[in-house]
Amino acid sequence: MTSLPIVGAAMTLSDVETHRNWLLEKPRDLELQSFVEAEVLNGDWQPLAERARKLLDGHEGRLGIHGPFWGFVIASQDPEIRAVVSKRLLQALDVCANIGATQMVIHSPYTSWSYNNLDNNKGEREKIIEYTHLTLKDAVKRAEDIGLTMVIENIEDKDPHIRVGLADSFNSPAVAVSIDTGHAHYAHGYTGAPPVDYYVHAAGNRLQHVHLQDADGYADRHWSLGEGNIHWRAVFAALAKLNNNPRLIIEIKDKSKIPASAAYLASLGLAE
């Protein structure tokens, strides 16, 4: 019997078909990435949802999706853009309700530019929070109604605390925090942000989701774990201090290496 955390993965439905045995061998969490595109959400996604339910028959892990993010931010000043973003998120939440997903990843509004300008423009910190609330208001209510949590993923975030404060500002179980290890490592190498494990410590028990990808601190590599230079022992030592059980999701470009990434963590005695 082991007390090591069990890792899951981010996959499209086609990837699930390829890695179904690996996914079902343990109660591995799954993040479906087949419902991101506007064309899918605006169209008839019911056949995809039916395919997902059939493929996941027997799946014992927790199910989530990556929400839409292409071409927009969740803190736009423009009310018409906010309306489109709200619509996309509500469409994705309809998918979640249909397939039984209990988590959805959304992207942080904070950038490396905003880090240096939040206090340069009066009220800028408050405005980002205000615009985000206006955008997410209906989605948060819908998420609460279906028992789902939206987790805010760091993209360019240089300050590991600021996204946690944004999540806290909703005072809702429907909003929590995600960390992408590669994004954090990029921020560390390129903008002088702290190392990845600092992001884990900053999030604390507000952390409910982690994208596990390896990188070299230069770009958003999404390499298989062990191919970059992220300090995985430090990351998992920080995760071990948490009282909750965040979903640990391998998110790499080469999906054929998902089992190898899990095996790499197992070889270090960090996860299975």
pLDDT digits (tens, 9 = 90+) for 165-183: 999 999 999 999 999 999 9
Is residue 170 within 8 A of residue 207, CB to CB? The reply is no
Counting residues of the chain whose pLDDT is more than 90, the rounded percentage is 96
CA–CA distance, 90 with 106 (Å, rounded to integer): 12
Tell me what pLDDT residue 259 has.
98
* pLDDT of 149 strictly over 80: yes
| Model confidence band, residue 116 (pLDDT cutoffs 50, 70, 90) | confident
Across-strand partners of 268?
Answer: none
Instruction: Give the CB-side neighbour count of residue 194, counting CA atoms within 13 A.
Output: 11
Quote the crossing angle between the two packed helices 79-99 and 46-55, to the nearest 10°: 40
Phi and psi, residue 200, nearest 5°: -65, -50
Q: Look at the pTM and tell me if it is higher than 0.85.
A: yes
DSSP for 167-186, written as a single string: HHHT-STTEEEEEEHHHHHH
DSSP for 8-28, written as a single string: EEEE-HHHHHHHHHHHHTTT-
Q: Residue 153: helix, strand or coil by DSSP? A: strand
Structural Rg of the chain based on CA atoms: 18
Mean pLDDT, the chain, rounded, equals: 97
Provide CB contacts within 8 A for 43, sequence distance 6+: none
Nearest to 113 by CA among 216, 33, 187: 187
Return the DSSP state at 255: G
CA–CA distance, 170 with 176 (Å, rounded to integer): 9
* pLDDT of 88 strictly over 50: yes
Tokens describing residue 32: 């479906």
Tell me what pLDDT residue 153 has.
98
CA–CA distance, 216 with 180 (Å, rounded to integer): 14
In degrees, rounded to 5, the angle at the alpha carbon of residue 35 between the alpha carbons of residues 186 and 184 is 10
CA 202 to the chain's CA centroid:
16
pLDDT tens figures, 194-230: 999 999 999 999 999 999 999 999 999 999 999 999 9
Tokens describing residue 218: 């230069």
Across-strand partners of 214?
Answer: 223
pLDDT tens figures, 16-59: 999 999 999 999 999 999 999 999 999 999 999 999 999 999 99
| Model confidence band, residue 2 (pLDDT cutoffs 50, 70, 90) | low
| Model confidence band, residue 1 (pLDDT cutoffs 50, 70, 90) | very low
* pLDDT of 130 strictly over 50: yes
Tell me what pLDDT residue 79 has.
98
Tell me what pLDDT residue 121 has.
86
